[in-house]
């Protein structure tokens, strides 16, 4: 299949946008956030109503980070979904309307207390700081779950792109250090091998589709403190020597995405390690198009699949093994 037809005009528009090259990192972030807000208004469904939305400060090494907590309208205790936003570890924010819409959906439709994590960004805060912040958020929500009508025995993690990288790495550290129990991980368009050695990086990173190899490399250079960090299991979960004992995972890469093979390779490695891992490749999708739920029926179907997996794992136990879907 080719790229979803409704995306073609949008890809042409993206290709003709002004370059951010030469702008300061602060100006790039502002431009990116403004662009995301405009894009969400055009292509994403309206935010769903939830019970309450509150914020809390989490103490981390060298500072504090914000978490935004979405609670369902009905009483709990509810399962908890910890969500890490994307943006190449250098960009993105919990204020992004796409993040807000997603967290509201997982609260309103799947019945979770959703927690969006504002980890500190590279290059000011290089690896392992964003990862350490992400793990600190897991420990904090496990300790404070009852304050938000959450059940600390039913914590799931998820994220998109760089956020999926953080979610997968958090699951590995929680296993390694006997940390808070994670019952499920939902990894969307995940970046899991920061050596960028997946074949899809060359195949789809040409610049014809969103996230060129050059853009990916800029993010890797910004995030990693040293080249050697790329092989650390908390930077590249796909390269971890031991993946046994991890929580069940559902992995959702896009077809026309340099990161496609990161997701498929991770599903294969988890399965080989005895972990329940299911995979759905978003046929016709590009990196990030899964959130265009107003524009694309295929994106709404992606969203519905993610919600279904969260509902399936809401009790903390895996129930059904689904067939994988590959192009």
- In DSSP terms, 158 is beta-bridged to 83, 186
CA dist 251 and 246 (Å) reads 14
CA dist 222 and 277 (Å) reads 30
* Token output for 180: 């808070």
Other C-beta atoms within 10 Å of 202: how many?
Answer: 13
Q: Are 137 and 157 in contact (CB under 8 A)?
A: no
Answer whether the bond into residue 77 is a cis peptide, omega within 30°.
yes
The interaxial angle of helices 97-108 and 25-43, nearest 10 deg, is 50
| DSSP-derived secondary structure letter, 209 | S
* Token output for 89: 């570890």
Angle at 119 between CA 117 and CA 120, to 5 degrees: 160
Query: β-strands 63-71, 52-60: how paired?
Result: antiparallel
Q: Which residues are catalytic?
A: 161, 257, 287
CA dist 15 and 19 (Å) reads 9
């Amino acid at each position: 299949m080719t790229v979803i037809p409704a995306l073609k005009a949008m890809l042409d528009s993206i290709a003709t946008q002004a370059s951010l090259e030469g702008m300061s990192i602060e100006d790039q972030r502002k431009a990116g956030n403004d662009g995301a807000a405009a894009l969400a208004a055009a292509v994403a469904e309206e935010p769903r109503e939830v019970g309450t939305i509150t914020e809390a400060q989490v103490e981390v090494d060298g500072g504090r980070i914000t978490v935004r907590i979405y609670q369902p309208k009905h009483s709990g205790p509810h399962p908890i979904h910890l969500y890490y936003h994307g943006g190449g570890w250098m960009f993105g924010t919990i204020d992004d309307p796409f993040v807000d819409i997603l967290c509201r959906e997982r609260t309103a439709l799947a019945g979770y207390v959703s927690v969006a994590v504002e980890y500190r960004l590279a290059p000011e805060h290089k690896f392992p700081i964003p990862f350490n912040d992400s793990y600190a958020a897991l420990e904090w929500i496990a300790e404070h779950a009852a304050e938000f009508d959450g059940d600390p025995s039913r914590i799931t993690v998820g994220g998109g792109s760089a956020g999926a990288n953080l979610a997968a790495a958090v699951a590995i550290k929680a296993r390694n250090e006997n940390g808070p129990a994670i019952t499920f991980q939902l990894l969307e368009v995940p970046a899991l091998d920061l050596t960028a050695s997946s074949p899809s990086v060359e195949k789809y990173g040409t610049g014809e589709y969103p996230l060129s190899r050059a853009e990916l490399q800029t993010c890797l250079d910004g995030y990693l403190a040293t080249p050697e960090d790329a092989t650390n299991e908390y930077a590249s979960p796909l390269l971890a020597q031991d993946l046994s004992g991890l929580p069940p995972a559902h992995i959702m890469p896009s077809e026309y995405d340099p990161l496609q093979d990161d997701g498929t390779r991770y599903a294969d490695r988890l399965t080989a390690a005895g972990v329940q891992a299911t995979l759905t490749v978003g046929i016709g999708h590009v990196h990030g198009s899964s959130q265009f739920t107003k524009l694309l029926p295929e994106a709404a179907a992606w969203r519905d699949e993610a919600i279904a997996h969260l509902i399936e794992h809401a009790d903390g136990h895996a129930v059904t093994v689904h067939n994988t879907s590959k192009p």
